[in-house]
Amino acid sequence: MKKASGFEIVAARCWNLLNEGKPFTPIFTISVYALYHMNQWGDGGFWERFALGLLAALPLFALYFYYDFPLFLRNYLWFPVVAALLLWRDTALDLGMYALGIGLFLFFTIYFWGTFYYHLRIGTSWWNFKRFWKLVLKNSDSTSGNAQEQLPKFLLLLFVVDTAGAKWAGTSLETSDFGWGTYVWFLIGTAIYAWVLHRYLFDWKPKEIAGYTVPAAVPARTQDGKVFVLVIDGMRKDRFEEANAPFLKKWRAEGTEYTQMETVYPARTVVCFSSMFTGTYPREHGITSNMVWKLGIKVESIFDSLRKVGKRGRLLGIAHLIDSMGDDVESVTAVMHNDKADRNIMERAKLIMAEQDPDLLVVQFIATDQTGHSMGALYDEYRQKIEEADALIAEFVGWLAERGDADNATFIVCADHGQADGIGGHGHLDEGERYVPFFLYGPDVRSGVKVDAKHSLVSVAPTLSYLLGTPLPSHSRGPVLTDAFE
């Protein structure tokens, strides 16, 4: 299987500018305004109006970049739109510009992203838009595909850019009839409104662990076996229950299951992996979305801990993870037919074991997640990918057993996050995202145990430290999962 090329790594970062909701909003707003006025590009007056409008809207751009308005809070985004229309009710609306914005947004999300992009990248049907439009309208994550968040945001921003620019150009602040005093109070009111909503209504973030990890009060391992973390990216807990996955369910029954294993916020892939393998939260490790502005985590990872004791770990995953975990990632290309993705990843995992023989191998199976994003998590195709992952993991473990690598090994099987209804959305912890399948299996793992107490994925790194006999990563906060061990 091919590694992610240098071009793919750069392209993935560029795509995140459009895929992640925060950078998308200003990029899209500015693009729509410029495209609509394309016939005026040769007029110096247009550029004056455009620049002044952007300057006036800058505080609002910043406010909407800072605040997500997650889940039901996005419904409150329409109140500032209505307020602006009432305050500047004498303004003639350029309906063509707003129609262009809505049309381009629907074209981008439903056809360019949901059909053209996914067809070229993972081989979905050219007719995927017939389903994808319904998914976009329901989607609730932090991406640009969240129509109910993006529409009121960019419509208000277009209104401010257009109205302020037109009324300010050729005048001064004192002579402009825009109503700057009114606008300042509008900005202050909108900022307070956003703060109040997020302060008092945004109350479903997972509670963070206050202190750092203390050494586990369990005996040291008697056998020095390898550890494998098998991550089925984006696997919903309820859909795993529905799937015909005999191998993994047998392991779960014969190992230790954590029934309330909670992901982190925001539940984005790069964020979750960073938390899993550092043992801490986004505010501390520095990765707060799939769009990584400053490359690399700010704290130690389990891979750093392994190096301290002369051991080696590898993370086999997509190019996005390089932005966080750097050279510890063995990248895989995400540009291939989705039906072949997990098979190719498993073959690459075999190659890594044969050539590098790491003490820790993390494998990211991506087909389930990609199916949820492209076709929805509540459809049969999504469940089928879980079943395919089950068969592939059974095959991989059989191959490890033939080599003798499975004898004393410990396996952790989990998802990094679930997926909500819509375009496989994950980020704001909608239904289906928060709790993930999580169980351990191996000779040192207790058999037939279910742990119902709430735990967090930040416990992965310290548990790996215990299993592999390494120091804890520098900022690890999760407790070692001691309930799993004899």
pLDDT in tens, 182-213: 999 999 999 999 999 999 999 999 999 999 99
What percentage of the chain exceeds 70 in pLDDT? 97
Spatial distance between the Cα atoms of 463 and 455, rounded to a whole number of angstroms: 12
Q: What is the pLDDT of residue 215?
A: 81
Torsion region of 432: left, alpha or beta (phi above 0 gives left; psi -120 to 50 gives alpha): left
Beta-strand (E) ranges in 395-446?
410-414, 435-436, 438-441
State the pLDDT at residue 166.
86
Q: Is residue 220's pLDDT more than 70?
A: no
468 — pLDDT class (breaks 50, 70, 90): very high
CA angle 256–220–349, rounded 5-degree value: 60
At residue 337, the pLDDT reads 95
> b/e string for 176-210 if b means 16 or more Cβ within 10 A?
bebbeeebeebbeebbebbeebbeeebeeebeebe
Chain segment 237-257, per-residue pLDDT in tens? 999 999 999 999 999 999 999
The pLDDT assigned to 172 comes to: 67
Which of 297, 260, 175 is CA-nearest to residue 453? 260
Angstrom distance (rounded) from CA 264 to CA 281: 7
Band (pLDDT 50/70/90 cuts) for residue 336 is: very high
Q: Averaged over 428-442, what is the pLDDT?
A: 97
Beta-bridged to residue 257, according to DSSP, are 439, 450
Residue type, 383: R
- What is the tens place of the pLDDT at every residue in 24-81? 999 999 999 999 999 999 998 999 999 999 999 999 999 999 999 999 999 999 999 9
Q: What is the pLDDT of residue 218?
A: 65
Calpha distance 9→104 (Å, rounded) = 27
User: In angstroms, how far is CA 98 from the centroid of its own chain?
Assistant: 29
- Please report the pLDDT score of residue 415 as a whole number: 99
Categorize the per-residue pLDDT at 10 as very low, low, confident or very high, splitting at 50, 70 and 90.
confident
The closest alpha carbon to 479, from 457, 466, 462, belongs to 462
Query: Chain-wide mean pLDDT for the chain?
Result: 95
pLDDT-based confidence at 425, cuts 50/70/90? confident
* Contact (CB, 8 A) for 24 and 150: yes
Closest by CA to 52, choosing from 211, 136, 168, is 168
Question: In the chain, what is the greatest distance between 2 CA atoms, to the nearest angstrom?
Answer: 82
Calculate helix-pair angle for 129-138, 147-168, nearest 10 degrees. Answer: 80
Peptide bond into 80 cis (omega under 30): no
Residue 154 near residue 101 (C-beta atoms within 8 A) = yes
Residue 217, pLDDT score: 66
Q: Read off the pLDDT of each residue in 435-453 and give the average, rounded to a whole number.
A: 97
Mean pLDDT of 369-375: 97
Domains plus CATH for the chain?
6-200 (no CATH), 227-484 (3.40.720.10)
Q: pLDDT at residue 173 above 80?
A: no
> What's the confidence (pLDDT) of residue 424?
83
Residue 431 scores a pLDDT above 80:
yes
271 token code pair:
């964020």
- Give me the sheet containing 313-318, strands edge to edge: 329-332, 313-318, 360-365, 227-232, 410-414, 438-441, 256-258, 449-451
Residue 223's pLDDT band (boundaries 50, 70, 90)?
low
